[in-house]
């Protein structure tokens, strides 16, 4: 679902309004999720939901759209693919997990694979876009890690939990969007369909499934699944926009899929063979 973001943004949405796109993707979906879930935060969860909403939604979405607008899709996708590496570091710092060379190696493999799939030979670089892409990956990585650390209240379903964060992130974006971008853009039929798709499918449905998965799977396994998004974007570019996929791209697909599969497998156990006892020799 998230893999459709790039083609919808470039082909349907009015340019120059990334914050407004993030706002319409988050706030309406959050309000719908709250109406369905019928549960509000309690106690400390008011603050936790606000923090998670800003990290996972309020900062991540506008930074993602800024990167998508200022960079070629391949460069933006490769920067986003750095998220599993950041999560691997945060899992050690925040969750107190042991450092894992297995996760780091496959995280690097996934970034290389995505780069081979989506970066063209004439990819242009933009400093603001690069900073936005890396910041969006870091924001989402920290949000996912804290979501795993705090868990989800037992009495709250995945829909309400996603609604808390989507609503908090959307409310955060309301004043920011107004101050930075001013009046909303003109919306034609194509833009309306694009915003509707991003809000209902890429927002409501995708985030309910995402936060349900975050609470059920290891955080590093969840993060590496994000590599599927640029792969889907590349396939859609080939099918809908006529973009070519050559041998290099196919190798990148294989590396990325291998990284995704390896991220779901348990880390290989270290060999625990006891050291050999030296033989005694007479003096």
- Specify if 276 maps to a domain: no
| pLDDT at residue 248, as a whole number | 82
Among 72, 81, 5, residue whose Cα is nearest residue 252: 81
Number of domains in the chain: 1
| pLDDT at residue 16, as a whole number | 83
- Specify if 64 maps to a domain: yes
- Specify if 274 maps to a domain: no
- Specify if 272 maps to a domain: no
Backbone conformation region of residue 154, classed left if phi is above 0, alpha if psi is from -120 to 50, else beta: alpha
Do 202 and 12 meet the contact criterion of CB atoms below 8 Å apart? Answer: no
| pLDDT at residue 32, as a whole number | 96
| pLDDT at residue 201, as a whole number | 94
- Specify if 271 maps to a domain: no
| pLDDT at residue 111, as a whole number | 81
- Specify if 277 maps to a domain: no
Domain of residue 20 covers: 2-264
- Specify if 24 maps to a domain: yes
Question: What average pLDDT values come out for the chain (283 residues) when binned by 10 residues?
Answer: 85 88 93 94 95 94 79 71 83 82 81 77 70 89 92 91 96 94 92 94 93 86 84 82 77 87 76 52 58
- Specify if 61 maps to a domain: yes
């Amino acid at each position: 679902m998230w893999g459709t973001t790039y083609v919808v943004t470039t082909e349907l949405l009015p340019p120059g309004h990334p914050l407004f796109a993030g706002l319409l993707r988050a706030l309406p979906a959050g309000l719908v999720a709250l109406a369905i879930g019928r549960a509000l935060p309690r106690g400390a969860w008011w603050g936790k939901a606000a923090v998670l909403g800003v990290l996972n939604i309020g900062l991540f979405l506008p930074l993602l759209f800024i990167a998508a607008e200022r960079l070629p899709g391949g460069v933006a996708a490769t920067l986003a693919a750095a998220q599993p590496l950041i999560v691997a570091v945060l899992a050690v710092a925040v969750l107190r997990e042991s450092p894992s060379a297995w996760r780091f190696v496959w995280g690097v493999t996934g970034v290389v694979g995505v780069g081979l799939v989506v970066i063209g030979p004439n990819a242009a670089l933009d400093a603001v876009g690069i900073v936005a892409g890396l910041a969006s990956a870091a924001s989402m990585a920290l949000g996912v890690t804290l979501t795993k650390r705090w868990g989800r209240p037992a009495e709250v379903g995945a829909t309400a939990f996603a609604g808390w964060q989507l609503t908090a992130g959307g409310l955060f974006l309301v004043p920011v969007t107004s101050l930075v971008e001013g009046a909303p853009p003109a919306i034609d039929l194509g833009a309306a369909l694009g915003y509707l798709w991003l809000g209902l499918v890429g927002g409501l449905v995708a985030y309910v499934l995402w936060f349900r998965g975050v609470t059920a799977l290891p955080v590093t396994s969840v993060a590496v699944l994000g590599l599927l998004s640029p792969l889907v974007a590349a396939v859609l570019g080939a099918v809908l926009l006529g973009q070519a996929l050559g041998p290099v791209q196919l190798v990148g697909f294989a590396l990325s899929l291998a990284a995704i599969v390896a991220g779901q497998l348990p880390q290989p156990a270290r060999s625990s063979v006891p050291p050999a006892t030296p033989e005694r020799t007479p003096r």
